[in-house]
Structure 1
Amino acid sequence: MRKVFILLFLIIFFGCKKDLLPKPKAYLSLTYPEKTYEDLTLSRPYSFKVSKMATIINEKNNWLSIKYPKLKASIDITYRPLKNNIRELLTEAEKLVFKHTAKADRIIPQDFINKEGRVFGSIYEITGNAASQIQFHVTDSTNNFIKGSLYFYAKPNYDSILPAVNYIKEDILHLIETLKWRHQ
């Protein structure tokens, strides 16, 4: 028995001469179409450029949904005319953002100001497994108020959807940067 044990030990110890190396980290390779934009064709109190990859769904009250079928996502846009209620609308928009606090790891705000175009607002990036990963609101501070939210049609798993969030975030920033009010 002792000879068998020694023989097994020698085979295991000297039998494998190949150096073992750790496997390199693998990253998911996702490719998205190159970005192209077109003007929003629906008649609204506002206009902006929207991704050609998206499908626009007309909703009542000047609301709309910007759908990304391949990414299983949508940006839901709500519009409200201002009637001396800007403080109420801003409070409501921020409450909706901070409802995600329980599931969010962080909420990162970023202000947006375009004095020339009279577009003022904030965009909130919500990290973690929250229901919405990006929310924003913009206003001209006198007549118009828009709120937008990014949603995915799946149970939130932030690590898995992060590439899609970043892709659509660029479209949201482009939307805000190209936003124009029709009635000033």
Structure 2
Amino acid sequence: MKIKSNYFLWGMILLFIGCQEAVIPKPKALLRLDYPTTEYELMETDHFNFLKNQESEFKNQDGTSMTLDYPRMKGSLFITYKEIRDNIDKLLMDAQKLSIEHASKADGILPHPFVNEKDRVYGMFFEVVGDAASQAQFYVTDSTDHFVTGSLYFYTRPNYDSIYPAATYLQNDIKKFMESIRWK
């Protein structure tokens, strides 16, 4: 019995001696993603001109469907052009409905109106907050002839915390697109 109590005593001594250092929790770390300084170049389509980020790759499928791919961020901005033929109300409803469809997964959708009377560009930018499939949508029009819609998608499962830095970067590109668009 004496041997067992000696093992117990030595075990307790080693336990107290070995735990002398205070445990200090590690500070929270933040992920740092560095994106290049944005440089823009002029792009021309059949119906309008705009400034695009040089980091993106422009693909013009058929003159009405275009894509700005961002391979580094694994995302794409899908752009569609439509002529207005007495259907402005339907085009506006469809563009707004697309944004509302993401409301079930999103924590919120923040609309930002856009007006450039000088160049006849009017529209709306929808910032989607939360784990929705698309992180931003927009439309711009001159309200008589031209109508452009766009949606931003990432090639990954929507996890807002993870894609937030890239989404913010690309949302700024969308705003630049809206500000720079000029009708032909």
Deviation at 1:7, TM superposition (A): 4.2
For the residue of structure 2 that corresponds to 1:90, the secondary structure is helix
Match for residue 90 of structure 2?
88
Tell me how many residue pairs correspond in the alignment: 181
Which of 171, 175, 178 is equivalent to 2:177? 175
Distance (whole Å) between structure 2 residues aligned to residue 5 and residue 127 of structure 1 = 58
Distance (whole Å) between structure 1 residues aligned to residue 26 and residue 93 of structure 2 = 50
Match for residue 34 of structure 1?
37
Deviation at 1:175, TM superposition (A): 0.8
Alignment of 1:99-110 (within 5 A): 99-110=101-112
Question: Identity of aligned pairs, percent?
Answer: 41
Which of 117, 120, 133 is equivalent to 1:118? 120
Distance (whole Å) between structure 2 residues aligned to residue 121 and residue 55 of structure 1 = 24
Deviation at 1:4, TM superposition (A): 4.1
Deviation at 1:83, TM superposition (A): 1.4
Distance (whole Å) between structure 1 residues aligned to residue 170 and residue 46 of structure 2 = 22
Pairing 1:11–2:14 present: yes
Deviation at 1:106, TM superposition (A): 1.1
Question: Normalised by the size of structure 1, how large is the TM-score?
Answer: 0.91
* 1:143 maps to amino acid: D
Contact 2:135 2:153 (8 Å CA) reproduced: yes
Distance (whole Å) between structure 2 residues aligned to residue 155 and residue 170 of structure 1 = 22
59-68 or 46-55: bigger deviation: 59-68
Question: Normalised by the size of structure 2, how large is the TM-score?
Answer: 0.91
Distance (whole Å) between structure 1 residues aligned to residue 24 and residue 69 of structure 2 = 45
Match for residue 54 of structure 2?
52
- Stretches of structure 1 that go unaligned for 5 or more consecutive residues are none
Deviation at 1:60, TM superposition (A): 1.4
Deviation at 1:64, TM superposition (A): 0.9
Pairing 1:148–2:170 present: no
For the residue of structure 1 that corresponds to 2:98, the secondary structure is helix
Deviation at 1:28, TM superposition (A): 1.6
Contact 2:141 2:148 (8 Å CA) reproduced: yes
4-13 or 68-77: bigger deviation: 4-13
Larger radius of gyration: 2
Output one character per residue of 1:102-148: Cα deviation in whole Å (capped at 9) or x when no partner: 21111111111111111111111112221111000011111111100
Distance (whole Å) between structure 2 residues aligned to residue 2 and residue 113 of structure 1 = 84
45-54 or 10-19: bigger deviation: 10-19
